Amino acid sequence: MTEIPEHLLKRSREARANTTGEPTKKAADNAPEAASAAAQSEAKVPSTPEPLEPTPTAPVAPYNAAATNRKKVPWWAASALILLPIWAITYVGTLERPPETGPAGLLADGDHVYEARCAACHGAAGEGGSGPAMNNGVVLVTFPTPAEQIVWVASGSAGVGLGNSYGDEAVGRVAVGGMPGFGAALTAEELIGVVLYERANLSHSEFDKGLAEAMDEAIHSGELDLKDHLDPETVTVEEVLDLLRSASFGEDDQLATG
């Protein structure tokens, strides 16, 4: 009996396996050692051949294809579009002309000066601290007229002279020190503003409120210029009264008497 070489047997088994899709039982019986090789080759070649063509699907209408294939609006562009009207409204709002703002006014300026320069010693609401209280009308009693108080704030304790009395003699205030003079640090406008603020706002004097409004008008119309400083060395009640009177205040006579 002619012996068929093992490699030829194997090839024929493989060929049969490829056509039938099954390894031959006999061959597997006859050559168990070759069976594993056949099984291997079977694993490589799938038993059911893949269909060459994909399963035909229903044809897509061109308008549907166009709808699915066209580029979508990107998310960022969509959100930008949604925000556009909000931006437009805000933008138009910024175009409106701001209301005409004249000078803030003596009392408003005085409020700022008080907060920055006086509140540390006299209290944020004039309740007092290292310096005397400015609320409850105390300051109106010490100084029956604004002019005297303006001179005091311009000169301070040292300007008046320690041991000297200041304000209404009947009240009997004596300078003991600690109050700085503000004539050099503040313009006449700021200094008069803060004094009228103390009297009108912190001590509720209607008279000083009216005076501040009259002076605002005079400053606004150019009648009164308070850009200079009150010299702390030389300032007098008469000099200050002249400034206050130039506001053509209806109650001028009260300026000197209180």
Residues with Cβ within 8 Å of 166's Cβ and at least 6 positions away in sequence, in order, are 142, 152, 160, 173, 174, 175
Q: What's the CA gap between 257 and 118, in Å, rounded?
A: 26
Q: What's the CA gap between 110 and 115, in Å, rounded?
A: 8
Tell me how many residues contact ligand HEC (CB under 6 A). 25
Q: In this structure, what token pair is assigned to residue 94?
A: 């910024």
Taking contact as CB under 6 A, which single stretch among the options 9-17, 38-46, 57-65, 150-158 is the one that binds ligand HEC? 150-158
Compute CA 5 distance to the chain's CA centroid, rounded to the nearest angstrom.
94
Q: What's the CA gap between 195 and 209, in Å, rounded?
A: 11
Task: Tell me the per-residue interface mask from 157 to 196 with ligand HEC, x by CB under 6 A, - otherwise.
Answer: x---------------x-xxxxxx-x-----------x--
Q: Which is nearer to ligand HEC, 13 or 199 (CB)?
A: 199
Within positions 126 to 145, which residues make up the interface with ligand HEC, using CB under 6 A? 130-132, 138-139, 142
Q: In this structure, what token pair is assigned to residue 242?
A: 């002249």
Q: Is 59 helix (H, G, I), strand (E, B) or coil?
A: coil
DSSP label at residue 197: H
Number of Cβ within a 10 Å radius of residue 132: 15
Task: Tell me the per-residue interface mask from 81 to 120 with ligand HEC, x by CB under 6 A, - otherwise.
Answer: ------------------------------------xx-x
Q: Which is nearer to ligand HEC, 21 or 178 (CB)?
A: 178
Measure CA of the first residue to CA of the last residue in the chain; give whole Å.
150
Q: What's the CA gap between 153 and 66, in Å, rounded?
A: 85
Least distance CB 132 / ligand HEC (angstroms): 4
Q: Which is nearer to ligand HEC, 132 or 210 (CB)?
A: 132
Radius of gyration of the chain (CA): 51
Our finding on whether 205 is near ligand HEC (CB under 6 A) is no
Least distance CB 194 / ligand HEC (angstroms): 5
Our finding on whether 122 is near ligand HEC (CB under 6 A) is yes
Least distance CB 220 / ligand HEC (angstroms): 24
Our finding on whether 124 is near ligand HEC (CB under 6 A) is no
Our finding on whether 155 is near ligand HEC (CB under 6 A) is no
Q: Which is nearer to ligand HEC, 180 or 210 (CB)?
A: 180
Q: Counting beta carbons within 10 angstroms of the beta carbon of residue 111, is it exposed (0 to 12), middle (13 to 18) or buried (19 or more)?
A: middle
Contact residues for ligand HEC, defined by CB under 6 A: 117-118, 120-122, 130-132, 138-139, 142, 149, 152-153, 157, 173, 175-180, 182, 194, 198
